[in-house]
Structure formats: structure tokens, C-alpha cells
Amino acid sequence: MVFNESKIHIFNAYIKLNIMDAGIQAKIDQWLNGNYDQQTKATIKELAEKNPTELTDSFYRNLEFGTGGLRGIMGVGSNRMNKYTVGMATQGFSNYLKATYPGKEIKVAIAHDSRNNSRFFAETTANVFAANDIKVYLFEALRPTPELSFTIRHFGCQGGVVCTASHNPKEYNGYKAYWNDGGQLVPPHDKNVITEVDKISSVDEVKWSGGEANITLIGKEIDDLYTEMVKGLSVYPDVIARQKDLKIVYTPIHGTGIMLVPKVLETFGFTNVHVVEEQSKPDGNFPTVNYPNPEEADAMAYGLKLAKQLDADILLGTDPDADRVGIGVKDDSGNWVLMNGNQTAVLAFNYMIEARKAKGLAAPNDMVVKTIVTTELIDEIARQNDINCYNVLTGFKWIAELIKEKEGKENYVVGGEESYGLMIGSQIRDKDAVSAVALLCEMAAYEKDKGRSLYQKLIDLYVEYGFYKEHLISITKKGMDGQQQIAAMMEGYRNNPPKTINGSPVVMLLDYELQKGKNPQTGEEWTIDLPKSNVLQFVLEDDSKISARPSGTEPKIKFYFSVNTTLADAKSFDKESAALDARIKGIIADMKL
């Protein structure tokens, strides 16, 4: 009777808003009458009476298990991160693992970040895997995502999961799925796992408990092994020995970086490290920031304040799961500048190429990897140093997949993308801000040993290889119709591409969804040899490049702008920078973004 009364309340709420939908109602009925806990059912009833719009958003679809796993707002409902959506995803993943490795012992590793409910989701995941007779290595407490990748490879696991929503706001959590190489799922496994997850139609199909003996807690022993691995990436330990008092400011932004970054810097030999106290404690509410993302200046504000007070040499910040890193350095006037992801990647790629060559470590088959929306300055640096530079789709899983493809033939050195991600060395297969922090500090020490800063080094690279400047615009479209709006924008550009942008003819239209490239001026067409992805790129006659890509993890569409020119000398930097800014503004205005 209680359930029937609740249905009446829900029905009336939808009628009032004229958004009643039979499919949504059916899902709500299933949760109210199924084997869900009483608190969940009580919350559904409360939403029906007080916030029917929120209830609609919670049930209008199933939270999609995408090619990287789950990510969404926490709460009750089929479109939310909760015990049930996590459990059903894990049951589907378990089914696929058992079908792929019949009769074999299957092992997985599980980690989590500092977000609210991350430990609960990790334990839920571990219990479901274990109940399916899968051996589980579960970290005893929060750990950085890259350590999870390392652990999968160390134990020879067939898969893994980290519970994190990376840099999303505090309301979000997520579930990233990994394969046996330590990289996130790629074809065919990504689609096959999705198929198995989609088959789980009821929480009654989930094995929730009964295999606790299959769970092993891990911690310090893996920390030590991982730290030693990172230490082995150092190219110039002798430079660090001379510059060990490099003044470093680091903020984990309330995340997992605090677990390993200070320890790794100490192991490298740095003795003058200052952690931002206000952001040192792991906290899923992220009390000092609105958005725990080192890409955001606000998230780095506390670090900047301390860096200025101490007159530091370098500032570094990592996101909650410590796979992204942002840095700040001083310009020639002593003003602090926050580097963007492209600039940081340029410095890292160049250092690994230049320093390895100077140290006699470079090999003829060295290769580097970047994504298609990351600065082409990296391509130019690699080209002039006779190193293969491969471009892959956005996401480190594609970098990991290319390493696997080239293993034994080419030597992977470094990979990265514009969204503040770097992966140095091939012993893990996901972006790693812990090793990136250590190597960026080594780079700062390397330049300081020569009497200059990382900022000056970047300008020198612009003079030597060309001045490339990038800009990003993210447009958020939330709610039920947000995805439809984003899809409509992409279809508009795909079906009616611009012939000119900012007065410059479009000479290349690259459609990664159709896997086709075309020169609109000549009619020439060619095939793009990459997996399908909903990305469009416009290359202009003046060598400007515009990329449009819906985010795979957030309700956003992203527009990437890249322009370039020559830089005669460091003194011309400000003038040429202003000219490039003007060109980017002209492109944005012409595209009406």
C-alpha cells in the first residue's frame, strides 16, 4: 500500500510538470518494489514530493557504462553513482573476465581516491568481484590512479578498477575499468564489457557477497615498489644532487597525491619541499576549491600564495586521483605564470628527448606519443630530433595501446595530452602526475643548474622550433536535453562545415567519426587510420587548427584552438603572443562561440 501511495505522489508530480514518461515511471517502480535498501526507497519518495525534476534526471536513463567505465553524480537512481549501479557494472565486468579467461585464476586490483563514497564504492566493487571467485588486491586506503596501473602489471592481473571522478566537482564519482596491460579498456574489450554490463537488468543478478576470503589488502609494499620505479626514470640524479635545495611548493588539492608525491620527491633527493597545508588533507568535499582541477587557477591559488611567500622555484598541483599535474613558474619579471597543459607537455617531451640524448641514453628507435588535440610543437620537436611522434585519439588508453602495439619494435619514452596529463616510461599505462611532478622538478633543477628557469627554456623552444599557442573553450550542456544539444552542434559542423574561418580557407576537414579526411579546396579525400571517435578538426590555410570534441566524461563539448608563428628572439615574445591571441579571438568570434 505504501508503494502505491508513493506512485500516486510521483504521478501527480509528473503531471504537474507535464513530463510524465512511462519508461521513467517503470524504472522508479522497479526500484520501489525491488531488492533495494529502505533508505534508497525513502529518498525516491522524498524526491517525488519535493524535487520531481531531480527525480526525472535520476531515472531518465541508465548511467552509461562507457568505454572508460562509469562517471556521474552520486545519488539514488539508475542515472546516478550508487551501490547498485556500481555493483551491476562490476557483475558485468566479472562475467566478461570469466568468459575471457575460462578455467583460469583471475586477479584484479582496486584503488580509490579521496572523494566521498570512494572507499564504499571500492569495497562494493571488491566484494562483487570476490563473490564471483575472482582474486582481489584492494588497497587498504586511498592511492593515486597511476599506482593502480602499476599494481595491475606487478601482480599480473587480468583487470582492475579505480573509483574516482578525477577532477570533477565534489558531487561526482566514477569507476574506471582497466585491462591486463594496466591501461584502460580499448577495443574489443571496452565494447564487450559494455555489452555484458548492459545484460545485467536487475540487482538480483549481482553476487554481492560470499567471497571475502578472495580479498587481499595491499599498501606500503606496493608504494615502495612504485617509488623505486619512479626513481628509475630520473635522467640527471647528479643535477638534483647539486640543486637538491630547489624550492618546491606542492599541493595535492585534498587528493591522493599526498600519499606519494612528497615521498617520491624525497627519494629523488629534493630536500626543500613545502606542501600547501590548507589543501594537504584528503577531503571529498574539497573545501578550498569549487573545482579540484589543477587546470583551474582558483585551485592553484593557495599554492601560488605560498610560492610567492617563499619565493619558490616551482609550484605543482595534482588533481584528486593524482593523474593530472599543473605547474607554475616565474617569468623574467618575477611574476608567477601558470603553465597550460600544452606548455607543460612541451617542456616534458623536450626534456626527455634532449636530456636522454645528452646523457647518451637515446636509442635510434625511440618514440613519443601525443593526442590529436595536443600542440603540434611536440611533433616539430620530435621531427627535428629524428624521433617518431605518433598521434592518437584523446585518452591515455590509446597511448597505452600504441605502446603495446610497438613493444619490441620501438622504445617508448614519453606521452602526453593537453589536459595536464603525462606518462613517462612504459612501466605504467596511464597518465601519472606523481612521476610527472618528480620529473618536472628535475627539469627545473636541470635549467637552474644552467642559470635559467623553465619559463626561459620554454621561450627558447619557441624561438628554436616555432611559437605555438593553444586555447580551449568548454561549453556545458546539462540535463536531459544536454546531450541532444551537443549532438546537434556536432551534426551541424559535420553536415555544413565552414568554408573559411576568420578569413582563412579551410584546407583540411578531418572527421574521425567517419574516419575520413578531405581537402575542400581540391576535393582530395583520404582515410584516417585511427579508431572511430566523434571529433572534427578544421585546418586552415594559415595553419590554424580548430578541433571540436564532446567530452567523454562530462556534459560538455570542447573546442580546441591552435595557432602558430615564428619567433625571431625572446624579446619578440610579448608582441607575437598578442598577435596570436588576436587570431584566436578572431576564430572564436567567426565561429560564434
**Sheet with strand 215-218: strands edge to edge:** 69-73, 172-179, 159-163, 107-112, 135-139, 215-218
Burial (0-12, 13-18, 19+ Cβ within 10 Å), 195: middle
* CA–CA–CA angle 21, 480, 395 (5° rounding): 135
Contact between 13 and 52 (Cβ < 8 Å):
yes
* pLDDT computed for residue 16 by the predictor: 42
Distance, in Å, from the CA atom of 380 to the CA atom of 378, rounded to the nearest integer, reads: 5
Collapsed DSSP state (helix, strand, coil) of residue 316: strand
Helix (H) or strand (E) holding 33: helix 22-33
Rounded CA separation 23/29 (Å): 10
pLDDT digits (tens, 9 = 90+) for 239-251: 999 999 999 999 9
Cα 593 to Cα 591: distance, rounded to the nearest angstrom: 6
Count CB neighbours of 120 within 10 A.
15
Q: Is 308 exposed, middle or buried (0-12, 13-18, 19+ CB in 10 A)?
A: middle
Q: What is the reported pLDDT for 480?
A: 61
pLDDT of residue 552: 65
Residue with cell 600547501: 276
The DSSP letter of residue 321 is T
Instruction: Give yes or no for a contact between 383 and 353, defined as CB atoms under 8 angstroms apart.
Output: no
The predicted structure's pLDDT at residue 2? 38
Q: What amino acid positions are annotated as catalytic residues?
A: 166
Tell me the β-bridge partners of 588: none
Please give the angle made by the CA atoms of 175, 177 and 182, to the nearest 5 degrees: 135
Residue 479, pLDDT score: 65
Would you state the pLDDT for residue 13? 45
In the 3-class helix/strand/coil scheme, how is 560-585 assigned residue by residue?
Answer: EEEEEECCCCHHHHHHHHHHHHHHHH
CA distance 16 to 127: 42
Dump strand ranges (E) for 148-301. Answer: 159-163, 172-179, 215-218, 248-251, 273-275
Which residues of the chain are under the pLDDT cut of 50? Answer: 1-20
pTM, two decimals, is 0.92
Q: What is the pLDDT of residues 173-209, one digit of tens each?
A: 999 999 999 999 999 999 999 999 999 999 999 999 9
Q: What is the pLDDT of residue 553?
A: 60
Query: 442 with 236: CB under 8 angstroms?
Result: yes
pLDDT of amino acid 556: 86
